[in-house]
Structure 1
């Protein structure tokens, strides 16, 4: 059993995670803990991450995009280092998950669709080697909102909003666009697995979850 510990600052679309856990298979467990590394005092954060450690978590990821990028690339790295020391576990954030997922897919140019355009997120991706070709607002109709990703220069679509319920739509969106789709909850779980050196083949969770390990010769 691989246990993934996720620190969730709010209640944004948390119900996506049980569906995600189901698609990952019976030997992967997702544990959600309400905590915010950017706002919680050290003693509270230590207590909350301690709960994850005692529950058997193998890694911990701060399930946040906008909160994690507010401090910039270097600041976000510092936050993750503090989280790792506090939790006593391999640690990361959703924001870094997007960068690592793009590298995994060989993607350097993306379209971003978000309800809250965030220049800090664009700058964060750029610092990680990923250029934002175009942005567009996320509306109530998800399928209609993703049209900008059809831009011929965009190699993938990024949906960074943790408030968006996307897990059940990933495969359909990729068929619609003909390119990879990276969303907050999907990337958060993938990043938590990456920290444990674990790969799971789950096509319903998109191209990111069908990548084969690179064999070193």
Structure 2
């Protein structure tokens, strides 16, 4: 039976990454939208995206699932390391199945690969990107270099095409880092990960990729080595 991993996703931007990943991974990744307004990249707005009042009804609306993922990086890391874990714990209780978030998925993926030094190419404004750096520090991961591109919303990030994603990935100094992180679920990256790893010569972890991977881990599904990137081959 195909495992069903519910994706709770704010707004409308790059949710079409999930059918691409589902086909490649052999799982069902249905998307339930948690938020219909703009997904602005400021701390107050991002915290509003990740409240229990937003997430728990969406988990109920998603229906039966083996696991539930809060598919939003910034809507989890703005709560800090402890806050993001508490957010996921409450979501699991509400959903009645294991739950996590994209931020926690990044931390889990880095632990799986034994990587503790990363470069980050962020779509976010500087203060939001700094909050992601602080979150990673809580997981014992050092950020060796960070670029902040000040894209004002998830909708704007969703309009970044393949060429823009490639440019974003190239924008950060990768010296001293063992992986490159692209932390916005509003970026379409699923079809580009293998290409970027080949070009840049490093592990590339993207938000929608790690979210799907962590959902599979929590569901007890063995991730196929045909999945995108070294994360699935490591």
Deviation at 1:162, TM superposition (A): 1.4
| 3-state SS of paired residue (1:111) | strand
Distance of aligned partners of 1:151 and 1:93 in 2 relative to their CA distance in 1, 3 Å threshold: same
| 3-state SS of paired residue (1:167) | coil
Instruction: Tell me what 2:60 maps to.
Output: 50
Give distance in 2, aligned partners of 1:20 and 1:57: 17
CA deviations over 1:89-114 (Å, ceiling 9, x no partner): 10100000000000111110000001
Determine if contact 1:137/1:145 at 8 Å carries over to the other structure.
Answer: no
Q: In structure 1, which of residues 187, 195, 207 is the aligned counterpart of residue 218 of structure 2? A: 195
Say what the alpha-carbon RMSD is for the aligned residues.
1.9
- Superposition TM-score, scaled by structure 2 size: 0.81
Determine if contact 1:201/1:209 at 8 Å carries over to the other structure.
Answer: yes
Deviation at 1:150, TM superposition (A): 5.6
Instruction: Tell me what 1:120 maps to.
Output: 131
CA deviations over 1:35-62 (Å, ceiling 9, x no partner): 2672462xx644432233x4x3100010
Give the aligned length. 205
- Superposition TM-score, scaled by structure 1 size: 0.87
Structure 1 residue ranges, 4+ long, deviating more than 3 angstroms after superposition: 44-47, 137-140
The runs of 5 or more residues in structure 1 that have no matched partner are 212-217
The runs of 5 or more residues in structure 2 that have no matched partner are 36-48, 150-159
- State yes or no: 1:76 paired with 2:84: yes
Determine if contact 1:149/1:156 at 8 Å carries over to the other structure.
Answer: no
Give distance in 2, aligned partners of 1:171 and 1:32: 24
- State yes or no: 1:157 paired with 2:180: yes
Give distance in 1, aligned partners of 2:206 and 2:85: 21
Instruction: Tell me what 2:3 maps to.
Output: 2
Give distance in 1, aligned partners of 2:187 and 2:86: 27
Instruction: Tell me what 2:29 maps to.
Output: 30
